Amino acid sequence: MRLGVLDVGSNTVHLLMVDAHHGARPLPAHSHKAELRLAELLDGQGAIAPAGVDRLISTIASALQAAEDKGCEDVLPFATSAVREATNADDVLRRVHDETGVDLQVLSGAEEARLTFLAARRWFGWSAGKLLLLDIGGGSLEIAYGIDEEPDAAVSLPLGAGRLTGGWLPGDPPDPVDVKALRRHVRAQIARTVGEFTRFGRPDHVVATSKTFKQLARIAGAPGSGDGIYAQRGLSRRSLEEWVPKLAAMTTEQRCTLPGVSEGRAPQLLAGALVAEGAMDLFGVDELEICPWALREGVILRRLDRLPAAR
């Protein structure tokens, strides 16, 4: 069957379509993506402005049409931190339903972490042992740890690359004073959670998902997307520590010239790097591996697990 997962995130609205059935690996069939940047469309009271809601509804309608055109039997729609934390979230969800028929499921931060952990566990398998997962989105940082498919610990922190860029780094290039202040803030937030994970012992394998980590690994020398999904991609803390001051000194235009860095993500790359560096340092991670699967795949896998097995 062909399934679609509609991810309304802080940066993009992304429809991923896969061909899948119970017990099999989902195979990507088509992708439909639009940069919406909901986190930047909030007004002074933290509500998504009317123009932003209009754009969201139009984007969802376009994604639904794409799903129909490509033969999706079902679409699994969900929203993350940008909608979850909007002060007018209920009104937004009501308008989306009334005008598109879509019931957006708003995931909690912990649910995001658990579903992303599930995807990573399925990708790396049981032989990976105890997994520590890091995921930097536009609005939040998810951390999860465990030996099974359900993590022993999972938290979500308001340390997304888009959120931090908008709130802490107004300059281009940013003021060094602002960069220092953000670094302190990020590390203080992460340090509060470290004890929840270290009590379970050291992980056997540390993995990371998200566009931010993929771009950081790419500029540090990891293979590009042209090498395929199975190419091993990693990121070392040493490389990251070398790149953070370089990124801090660059303008957005200069970051766009780096390998694998898109124009839309370039403004957020420094904030994401500070979060990645802080997490790796405070959790004592020297090396991590990039996981190709993330939240969207976790949502699909959970849905497939609930389908009856074919006889």
Q: Where do the DSSP E strands lie in 87-215?
A: 105-106, 131-136, 141-146, 153-157, 205-209
Specify the 3-state DSSP secondary structure of 143: strand
Q: What is the pLDDT of residues 140-157, one digit of tens each?
A: 999 999 999 999 999 999
pLDDT recorded at residue 11: 85
Query: What domains sit in the chain, N to C, each tagged with a CATH number?
Result: 2-106 (3.30.420.40), 109-296 (3.30.420.150)
pTM: 0.94
Length of the chain: 311
Q: Has residue 310 got a pLDDT over 60?
A: no
CB-based contact 204:282 (threshold 8 Å): no
pLDDT higher than 60, residue 72: yes
Give the pairing of strands 2-8 and 12-19. antiparallel
- pLDDT for residue 210 is more than 70: yes
Q: How far is Cα of residue 238 from the mean position of the Cα atoms in its chain?
A: 23
Rounded mean pLDDT of 217-224? Answer: 96
Summarised one tens digit per residue, pLDDT across range 2-14 is: 999 999 998 899 9
